[in-house]
C-alpha cells in the first residue's frame, strides 16, 4: 500500500543536531539578551522607580495638602463660631443699650413735660394774681366813681330818678358825640 | 486505510505527497549563501525575531516617561507581565531582578518565533527546527545550574538537587539517582522536546489539512465535501495553534524561572 504513496526518500531526522542552527540560535539569543539587559531593562526599571516615586510623592503631597485644608477649615469654623458668638453678644448689648436709651429718653421727656407743665401753671398763677390785683384796683375806682355820682343826686322820686338817668345818658351821648374821651 | 487506498489508487502516478519531516528541511533550498554558508529560512526567521523583539522594546522605552504613551504602555505591559507574573512571582522578590532581562528576552524571542507559524508569508515555526530549541534549552541548563553552583557550591548544589529532604535515608539509594536524573539530566531534554514537538506537530497538522484539502477537492467525488471540511478544520487548528504558540513560549519561560528558583532555594 505504501508503495503508492510517494514519500521523499532520505530525509533528515527532525531531531537531528544541526550545529549551524544550534550556534545561530545561541548567538542570536545571546545578542538579544545583551541588548535587552543593556538598553531595555534599565530604562524600564528606572521609569518604574520614577513613577513609583512620583505617585508616592504625589500621595504625600496630597496628604499634606489635605491636612492643611483640614486645619484651615477647622480654623475658619472656629473663627465663624467666634464671629457668631461676638455678633450675638453685640446684639444683646445693643438691645440692652437701646432699652436703656429708651428708658432714659422717656424719663427725660417726662421730666421735661412736667417741667413745662409746672412752668405753665406758675405763669398762669402769676398772671391771675396780676389780673386780680389790677381788676381789684379798677373795680375800686369804678365803684368809687359810681358811688360819687350816685351820692351827688338825691334819689327822691321817680322823675328825678329818670332825669338823673337821662342826664347821665345824655352826658354819655354828648361825650360820645363831641369827644372820644372815656366815660370817667 | 480504505480511504488512503482509494486516494492512492485514484491519483496513480502522482499520488498525494504526505507532509513529513521533509517539510521542515530547508537545507536543499537555502535563501542565500553567506561566506560559503547556506542560510535557510528558519535562520533568517530567528534573526528577524530577535530584531523585532528588540526593536519593539527599544521603541517603547526610547523616550520613556513617567506618563507613558501608547507604545510605551504596551511595552510596559509586555515587560511587566514577564517581570511580575513570571519573574517576581516564581523566583521571589529578593533575587528576581537580575533574571528579568533573561526571562523577558526569552519569552518574547520564543513568542515571536512561534508566532511566525501563523504570520502570513512566513508561516513556519522557527523552533520546529530542533537544534534551535536545543540551544535555548542548553542555555537554560547552564544558567540554572550555574546559578545554583554559584550560590551553594558544587557539592551543596548537587546535594540540594539530588537529596530530597524529609525522606528517610533508607530511601536515598533509590531516590538520589532518580532526583539527579530528573533535575539535572532530563530537564533540558524535556524543555527542548516540548517546544520542538509542539511546534513541529502543529505545523505538520496545518500542512496536512491544507494540502490534503486541496488534494481532495482536485480528486473530486466525496472530496468536494471532505476537502472544504479539511480547510475548515485547518482554520480551527490555526486558532488552536495561536494558543499553543503563546502557551509554549510561556511554559518554557515559566519553567526556566522555576528551575532558577529551585536552584536558589535553601531547601529542596
ipTM for the complex? 0.88
Q: Work out the minimum CA distance from B171 to partner chain A, whole angstroms.
A: 36
Of B215, B214, B211, nearest in space to B203 by CA: B211
In chain B, where the domains are located: 2-264
In a domain, A88, yes or no: yes
In a domain, A84, yes or no: yes
B196 burial level (CB within 10 Å; 0-12, 13-18, 19+)? buried
The residue of chain A nearest to residue B72, with distances taken between CA atoms, is A44
* Average confidence (pLDDT) over B46-75: 89
- Interface membership of A47 toward B (CB under 8 Å): yes
- Interface membership of B27 toward A (CB under 8 Å): yes
In a domain, A66, yes or no: yes
- The CA distance from B45 to B123, in Å, is 10
Of B143, B164, B163, nearest in space to B155 by CA: B163
Of B65, B71, B139, B129, nearest in space to B105 by CA: B139
- Interface membership of A9 toward B (CB under 8 Å): no
Task: Tell me the chain B residues in contact with residue A46 when contact means C-beta distances shorter than 8 Å.
Answer: 64
pLDDT (tens digit, 9 = 90+) per residue, B174-225? 899 999 999 999 999 999 999 999 999 999 999 999 999 999 999 888 888 8
Percent of chain B with pLDDT over 90: 65
Which B-chain residues 40-99 have CB contacts (< 8 A) with chain A?
Answer: 42-43, 46-47, 49-50, 53-54, 57-58, 61, 64-66, 68, 72, 75-76, 79, 83, 97
pLDDT of residue A183: 45
In a domain, A8, yes or no: no
Looking at the structure of chain A, the number of domains it has is: 1
Three cell numbers, residue B262: 529551585
Domain that holds residue A99: 19-147
A28 and B50: CB-CB below 8 Å? yes
Query: Can you give the pLDDT of all 184 residues of chain A as single tens digits?
Result: 444 455 445 677 888 899 999 999 999 999 999 999 999 999 888 888 888 888 888 899 999 999 999 999 999 999 999 999 999 999 999 999 999 999 999 999 999 999 999 999 999 999 999 998 888 888 878 877 777 777 665 555 667 677 777 777 888 788 776 655 444 4
- Interface membership of A11 toward B (CB under 8 Å): yes
pLDDT of residue B55: 94
Partners of B38 in the β-ladder: B33
State the best of A41, A52, A56 to mutate against chain B, taking most chain B CBs within 10 Å: A41
Amino acid at each position: 500500500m505504501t508503495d503508492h504513496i510517494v514519500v521523499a526518500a532520505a530525509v533528515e531526522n527532525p531531531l537531528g543536531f544541526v550545529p549551524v542552527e544550534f550556534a545561530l540560535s545561541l548567538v542570536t539569543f545571546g545578542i538579544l539578551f545583551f541588548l535587552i539587559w543593556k538598553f531595555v531593562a534599565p530604562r524600564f526599571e528606572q521609569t518604574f522607580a520614577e513613577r513609583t516615586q512620583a505617585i508616592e510623592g504625589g500621595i504625600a503631597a496630597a496628604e499634606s495638602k489635605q491636612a492643611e485644608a483640614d486645619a484651615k477649615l477647622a480654623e475658619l469654623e472656629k473663627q465663624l463660631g467666634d464671629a457668631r458668638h461676638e455678633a450675638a453678644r453685640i446684639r444683646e448689648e445693643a438691645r440692652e443699650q437701646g432699652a436703656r436709651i429708651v428708658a432714659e429718653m422717656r424719663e427725660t421727656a417726662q421730666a421735661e413735660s412736667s417741667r413745662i407743665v409746672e412752668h405753665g401753671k406758675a405763669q398762669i398763677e402769676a398772671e391771675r394774681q396780676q389780673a386780680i390785683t389790677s381788676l381789684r384796683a379798677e373795680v375800686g375806682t369804678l365803684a368809687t366813681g359810681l358811688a360819687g355820682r350816685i351820692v351827688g343826686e338825691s334819689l327822691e322820686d321817680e322823675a328825678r330818678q329818670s332825669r338823673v338817668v337821662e342826664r347821665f345818658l345824655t352826658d354819655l351821648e354828648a361825650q360820645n358825640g363831641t369827644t372820644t374821651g372815656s366815660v370817667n | 486505510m480504505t480511504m488512503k487506498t482509494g486516494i492512492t489508487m485514484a491519483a496513480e502516478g502522482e499520488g498525494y505527497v504526505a507532509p513529513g519531516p521533509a517539510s521542515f528541511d530547508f537545507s536543499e533550498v537555502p535563501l542565500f549563501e553567506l561566506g560559503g554558508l547556506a542560510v535557510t529560512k528558519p535562520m533568517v526567521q530567528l534573526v528577524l525575531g530577535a530584531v523585532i523583539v528588540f526593536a519593539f522594546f527599544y521603541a517603547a522605552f526610547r523616550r520613556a516617561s513617567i506618563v507613558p504613551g501608547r507604545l510605551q504602555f504596551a511595552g510596559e505591559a509586555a515587560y511587566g507581565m514577564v517581570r511580575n507574573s513570571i519573574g517576581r512571582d516564581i523566583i521571589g522578590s529578593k533575587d528576581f531582578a537580575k533574571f528579568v532581562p533573561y526571562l523577558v528576552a526569552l519569552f518574547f524571542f520564543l513568542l515571536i518565533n512561534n508566532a511566525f507559524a501563523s504570520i502570513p508569508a512566513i508561516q513556519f515555526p522557527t523552533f520546529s527546527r530542533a537544534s534551535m530549541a536545543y540551544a535555548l534549552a542548553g542555555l537554560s541548563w547552564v544558567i540554572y545550574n550555574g546559578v545554583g553552583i554559584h550560590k551553594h557550591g558544587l557539592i551543596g548544589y548537587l546535594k540540594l538537587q539530588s537529596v530530597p529532604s524529609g525522606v528517610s535515608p533508607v530511601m536515598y539509594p533509590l531516590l538520589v539517582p532518580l532526583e539527579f536524573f530528573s533535575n539535572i539530566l532530563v530537564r533540558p531534554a524535556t524543555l527542548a522536546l516540548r517546544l520542538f514537538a509542539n511546534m513541529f506537530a502543529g505545523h505538520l497538522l496545518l500542512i496536512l489539512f491544507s494540502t490534503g484539502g486541496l488534494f481532495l477537492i482536485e480528486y473530486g467525488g466525496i472530496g468536494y465535501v471532505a476537502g472544504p471540511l479539511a480547510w475548515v478544520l485547518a482554520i480551527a487548528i490555526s486558532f488552536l495553534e495561536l494558543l499553543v504558540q503563546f502557551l509554549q513560549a510561556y511554559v518554557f519561560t515559566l519553567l526556566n524561572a522555576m528551575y532558577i528558583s529551585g536552584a536558589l532555594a535553601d531547601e529542596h
